[in-house]
Amino acid sequence: MSEITYPEVSDFQMPDIEKFELENGMKFYLIEDHELPTVSASARVGTGEVWEPADHAGLASVTGTVMRTGGTQSMSSDEVNQLLENLGATVETSIGETSGSAYMNTLADNVDQVLPVFADVLMNPAFAEDKIEQAKSQQKTSISRRNDNPRQIASREFDKLVYGADSPYARVEQYYTIDEITREDLTRFHGQYVHPNNTLLSVWGDFDTADMKRKLREAFGGWEREANFEKPEPPTVEGERGYSVNFVQKDDVTQSTVFIGHPGEIKRNNPDYFPVIVMNQVLSGGFSGRLFQNVRKDQGLAYSVFGEYGAGYDREGRFFTGVLTKSASTVEGTRAVIEEIE
């Protein structure tokens, strides 16, 4: 090891970040960069699927979709689409597991036209009924296809074993939970979480910082803060998971997908997080990983072999390795993975 040489790490200069906060509690981070004549913005909202009602699973995703597709209180969906298309600009929204997001990209010359639309979509979605039905239909299509991919099935069922079948981190939407979703649910969910004092906005690109701060104050300064808002706490992962072997039968394939793992023990802000990531890279990092070299290359027991440590800031996540192999090699491939871990 002492004879191994490494190239010198080049100096990395962090760009200057201008931070400020409006009176309504909305926080901003600005990076002025004139390399390209564009401006981008990304908002993060403290919301997510884990806080939606269990009997309305899918509500967060539908809300995030229709915030953009359903128009605003001042512009129809078609008007928003036409304006953005004419300017070659992008505005998108979504809500994932533990955060909501809104994204904007435009030529710098068009910021004055696009930024107000971006703000309007975030603050004042109209949630048009026809777009809600369209989003619900798309969700049902996803449900109908989610058993097509064996790895997706294994991952979904593995989450239930790690977190518990009823955990917000493991539950999935069903046809009946999508059917339960109404426009009132979307407006309530949006109103519960999308507030200036629960939103961070990063803006970067070709602008003058002082001028952009003025534009942002104009766009978001009138957004009223929620006085009684309390930031949602992440759900807790309940209980211990003992050793078990579990099967999901799928008769229309000639291969096995195996997940092996357990609940994680550290969050992303733990000082051991990066050493664990390095460890996992050595174990399962692509073609150079030990699992690939041993299980697939040397023994020929896998179509694919993989691993991950999925720690988050909100929970410990999960550690797992997995192998895709011929049905006849299931036991042998699984044993080879376990031996490499040990």
Predicted confidence at residue 26, as pLDDT, reads: 98
| CB under 8 A, 24+ apart: contacts of 336-339 | 336/294, 336/295, 336/299, 336/301, 337/258, 337/260, 337/291, 337/295, 337/305, 338/260
User: How many C-beta atoms lie closer than 10 Å to residue 8's C-beta?
Assistant: 6
Cα 58 to Cα 98: distance, rounded to the nearest angstrom: 13
- In this prediction, residue 2 has a pLDDT band, given cuts at 50, 70 and 90, of low
pLDDT tens, residue by residue, 123-156: 999 999 999 999 999 999 999 999 999 999 999 9
* Pairing verdict, β 100-107 and 255-263: unpaired
For residue 190, pLDDT beyond 90 = yes
Per the CB < 8 A criterion, the answer to whether 201 and 41 are in contact is yes
- In this prediction, residue 115 has a pLDDT band, given cuts at 50, 70 and 90, of very high
Count H helices, E strands: the chain? 11, 9
Q: What is the DSSP string of 215-232?
A: HHHHHHTTSPP-TT--PP
Predicted confidence at residue 316, as pLDDT, reads: 86
Stretch 171-192: mean pLDDT:
97
Predicted confidence at residue 207, as pLDDT, reads: 98
Predicted confidence at residue 25, as pLDDT, reads: 97
For residue 110, pLDDT beyond 90 = yes
Cα 216 to Cα 116: distance, rounded to the nearest angstrom: 9
User: How many C-beta atoms lie closer than 10 Å to residue 141's C-beta?
Assistant: 10
Q: Which domains does the chain have, with CATH numbers?
A: 18-149+169-220 (3.30.830.10), 255-341 (3.30.830.10)
Mean pLDDT of the chain: 93
